[in-house]
Structure 1
Amino acid sequence: MLNRIRKVLKEEPGETFPVAAIETEMADLGKVTGFNEEMIENVLEYTKGGSRTFLTLTLLYDQIDFGSIQYHQDHIFPSSLLDEDYLLDNGFDRDKAKAFDAQADRLANLQLLTGRENEAKQDTPFEEWLESQDESFYDRHLIPTDPETHRIENFDSFLEQRSELIRDELQSVLGPVEH
């Protein structure tokens, strides 16, 4: 691949860098040079614990010092409160309990917190824990501002709205999305 890119660099006339020609050459080799909507949708399906998940989360935070502070992948809505049995015991119907449990580890329910923040949060319900955060928390963590989405019974709406915020942020960070 590098030989073919070098060849493009040598053969392309002009004073500007031949981005389009390199992208064409890479596409001929089957290499992806950009992001499309399908790729972003696939990223939104990442789940807790994966190295790609952590990497994706790091793209969403611009004010984090990754060199000196260890960050945890934290469930925004605690996974213990999204457990199917817990939800059934607390009056949720079986279908909703099963759906919430299945979505607990999705990227849209994850955020990066310092170890200290994560330990302090523990299994505190999101709606309650959010009250202790300042206004900048919403923007910093891409949290929907609609207070109804902060209630566990509206977890599905929270995921939809936060997925949209993440999608927009990824497009902003990664550049234009190919259609």
Structure 2
Amino acid sequence: MRKDASKDRRHRRPAPWVVAPVAVLISLTASCSAQDAPASTRFDSSRVPASVDSVLPGTSGSGRLNTIRTTMEEALTRLASTTPHVEREALRATLIGLDPETADTVEVSISTTPTGLDVESVQGALLISGECVIAEIRAGKVTTTVLPALKNSHCFVGDQR
């Protein structure tokens, strides 16, 4: 009688060219530890700032930037209080009216999906001296922040601005 070929394959030893690299990989992994890492690559929680505002340039020292951020928040709060769903063009018009110098840097997210549904929030941004004053309107509440501009001198990723 002849043995079943599939049974023979299950009981064969792995080839040495497979076992050797696996053994080396396991031994290398086991010998590595966080203690061996140089101090510059270890996480140091004492270096984490208590507030993001302390590391973003211009958020506390730039008077114009803070003035526009405050004005933006006030204007968008008024806009959000007038309608349950802020339309993209209404947001754009409000942001353009804030500062004539930044009117050509206004970026606004979509307010309606391609299928016609309202989005949960809309965002708008102004580019000022390499920084973006970004606002979000969600459920009638306005949130603003200042972030650095992207390398392409825009505030938003994508092509819908």
**TM-score bracket for this pair, using the shorter chain length:** under 0.3
With structure 2 as the length reference, what TM-score do the two structures score?
A: 0.28
> Which protein is richer in helix relative to its size?
1
- Say which one has the larger Rg: 2
With structure 1 as the length reference, what TM-score do the two structures score?
A: 0.26
- Which has the bigger relative contact order, CA under 8 A and spacing at least 6? 1
